[in-house]
Structure 1
Amino acid sequence: MSSPPLATTAPESDAHEATPPSSSSPPLCDNCVSDRPTPPNQTTKGELTKLAEIDVYISKPPTYPSTPSRLLLLLTGGTGLLATNNQLQADLFAQEGYVVVMPDLFGADPAPNSKTVEEIAAETGDSNSFLDLFKIKAAETAKSFMIDMWLARHTEEKVLPLIKKVLEEAKDEFADAVASGGGVYAAGYCFGGRYVLLLGQEKEVVSSGGDDEEANKAKTEGPWIKAGALAHATLVSTNDFVGLKAPVSVVSVESDPLFPDEVRTKGEDLMRESGVEHEVQVYPGVPHGFAVVGEYEDANIKIAQATAFDQMLKWIQDH
């Protein structure tokens, strides 16, 4: 049986596939591991603290707790917890009435942010010489290797339990917000986008109870969120849509090699067949990572960024 289509081929899938990741399909792009310039005159409003002994950034509405708010779990891309733009993204949702909990998915180990090939080429001067071209190619290879190794350190088996641990603690800490929204909401970007799908799944689990037949019966777990929204997700496979129960909104980039049309359309088919409420919007002419706070010179990208936020916000507000 052939493996399901993957948005990328990551190290965690190597155990199931003999072939290494293709260089034509990078596991993460520059926009996944590097922040755009922060928009001018913006400062973060939340605080860094801990939940369940895990570092988190928490941003609250200005009138909380006197005004009822909902609880939102925000899952970042590879730039991680301390990236100013990710914190500003959390603040945007907080301004709209959400208590936002953004966990450090990577244990103080954000994705490697090496120099871009363009910067290396500029430093070497004449990029047409054989030596300079060799340096550029070597830098590309080193960068890809570093990201592959980073992904191998942050697999689903490590990240998902961490998220669930923070989620359970947050539900106790902000029980009023959970009650106000009738559950927990989630928004995810790039790396974090896939985990919105995983949290929205219902799964059968079998616990080993020895000879106890009742204990050995399959039980269901999840979904862990009421509704979710994800933008330009990475590392998604079609299997991530199987068992999905929570309604989801998907922000996708046109012709995105990190979330290929084949994976997206098959995911839509699976959601439609299983009756999962969903919406999918494909944004043309924008780079992967565009929906995260960050400054762009192109006015069309700025407009798309604001539109994507409105799409995700409206979806969770309506659910």
Structure 2
Amino acid sequence: MRASSTSLLLWSIGSAVLGLTKSCPIADTSIIAHTGTPVGTEEVVDGVTLYVSKPGCKAPKVGVVYLTDVFGIQLAENKLLADSFARAGYLTVAPDLFNGTPAPSDLNDPTFNTTAFLAAHGPDVADPLIAKAIAYLRAAGVDKVAATGYCYGGRYAFRSVAEGKGADAAFAAHPSLLEDGEILTIAGPASVAAAETDSLMPPARRAQIEALLANTTQPYQVSLYSGTQHGFGVRANVSDPEQKFGKESAFFQAVRWFEAWV
């Protein structure tokens, strides 16, 4: 009974989202895909590999820059989620933030040095790549750009909505390494989807993020999903009803946020 109610709710939300995308009507109502073959293409633009997923309309007015977790555009779930944003009506571009060498699927691999990996892919490296992805979207003719980020990419969604960075609104699912100053300097609306269990954003840090957002002049939202862990926005176990609901609801949270503020 619970699964049936969940499905009905998500269908209703999905239908509402499609109805809101008036400038880019979409016939396909199967918005979010957890499995299957990605439908986007990879392009190399100004030295950066971009995963590009296009909506079913000819002239979308809003673009989404999709900022991945440490598993990069090489992870099928990241490509599928980018495709889902395209089905919602957005020209979606995900830059390869790790130049073809993302983190391994098993972060506990003894040969992988997480500290060194993150140090090698800090803002000095990531920001210029994201700027090129946003420039691609602008050159494609979109009027507005929304940034959506997951884990590692969540921090950069916030950075992308700072003054002069090019994005008009941000959504971040379970962001990691997000600094106070990066929250306080946002110049556009920001939404956060938080996991119940997240060592990188525990309850105390979540409360701090809420307080910092309240000290900005921008609209903000923080939503908490029970039964979820860090990474649920992309890599949820969709055989678990709570995790599936959390992943799908976080996706619709992002889309509704963009529809409201971009």
TM-score, length-scaled by structure 2: 0.81
Instruction: Please give the secondary structure, in 2, of the residue aligned with 1:280.
Output: strand
Return the offset for 1:99: 0.3
Partner of 1:200: 161
Instruction: Please give the secondary structure, in 2, of the residue aligned with 1:284.
Output: strand
Partner of 1:225: 167
Describe the superposition over 1:252-274 as per-residue Cα deviations: whole angstroms up to 9, x where unpaired.
11242111333332222222122
Partner of 2:80: 88
Return the offset for 1:234: 1.0
- Give the direction of change, closer, same or farther, for the CA distance of 1:270–1:53 in structure 2 (3 Å limit): same
1:272 is aligned to 2:214: yes
Instruction: Please give the secondary structure, in 2, of the residue aligned with 1:254.
Output: strand
Q: Output the CA distance in 2 between the equivalents of 1:148 and 1:288.
A: 18
1:102 is aligned to 2:63: no
Count how many residue pairs are aligned between Structure 1 and Structure 2.
Answer: 229
Q: Output the CA distance in 1 between the equivalents of 2:248 and 2:105.
A: 26
Return the offset for 1:69: 3.9
Q: Output the CA distance in 2 between the equivalents of 1:230 and 1:115.
A: 21
- Whichever of the two has the greater Rg, that structure is 1
Partner of 1:283: 225
Return the offset for 1:154: 0.8
1:158 is aligned to 2:152: no
Partner of 1:248: 190
Structure 1 unaligned residues grouped into runs of 5+: 1-37, 117-138, 203-221
Q: Output the CA distance in 1 between the equivalents of 2:235 and 2:115.
A: 25
CA contact (8 A) 2:161 2:169 kept: yes
Q: Output the CA distance in 2 between the equivalents of 1:251 and 1:70.
A: 21
Return the offset for 1:237: 2.1
- Give the direction of change, closer, same or farther, for the CA distance of 1:223–1:149 in structure 2 (3 Å limit): closer
Letter in 1 for 2:135: E
CA contact (8 A) 1:187 1:196 kept: yes
Instruction: Please give the secondary structure, in 2, of the residue aligned with 1:81.
Output: coil
Describe the superposition over 1:88-143 as per-residue Cα deviations: whole angstroms up to 9, x where unpaired.
00000000100001000111110133475xxxxxxxxxxxxxxxxxxxxxx6xx35
Instruction: Please give the secondary structure, in 1, of the residue aligned with 2:113.
Output: helix
Q: Output the CA distance in 2 between the equivalents of 1:270 and 1:81.
A: 31
Partner of 1:259: 201
Instruction: Please give the secondary structure, in 1, of the residue aligned with 2:233.
Output: coil
Letter in 2 for 1:46: G
CA contact (8 A) 1:252 1:280 kept: yes
CA contact (8 A) 2:65 2:146 kept: yes
1:188 is aligned to 2:185: no
Describe the superposition over 1:51-80 as per-residue Cα deviations: whole angstroms up to 9, x where unpaired.
222001000012333xx4421100000111
Which residue among 283, 303, 307 is the counterpart of 2:245? 303
Q: What root-mean-square deviation, in Å, do the aligned CA atoms of Structure 1 and Structure 2 show?
A: 1.9
Letter in 1 for 2:64: L
Structure 2 unaligned residues grouped into runs of 5+: 1-32
Partner of 1:62: 56
Which residue among 47, 50, 64 is the counterpart of 2:41? 47
Letter in 2 for 1:168: A
Instruction: Please give the secondary structure, in 2, of the residue aligned with 1:249.
Output: strand
1:146 is aligned to 2:105: no
Letter in 1 for 2:208: K
CA contact (8 A) 2:237 2:243 kept: no
Q: Output the CA distance in 1 between the equivalents of 2:103 and 2:72.
A: 8
Identity of aligned residues (%): 32
Instruction: Please give the secondary structure, in 1, of the residue aligned with 2:232.
Output: coil
Which residue among 48, 60, 77 is the counterpart of 2:69? 77
Q: Output the CA distance in 1 between the equivalents of 2:151 and 2:89.
A: 24
Q: Output the CA distance in 2 between the equivalents of 1:69 and 1:241.
A: 27
TM-score, length-scaled by structure 1: 0.67
Q: Output the CA distance in 1 between the equivalents of 2:176 and 2:107.
A: 21
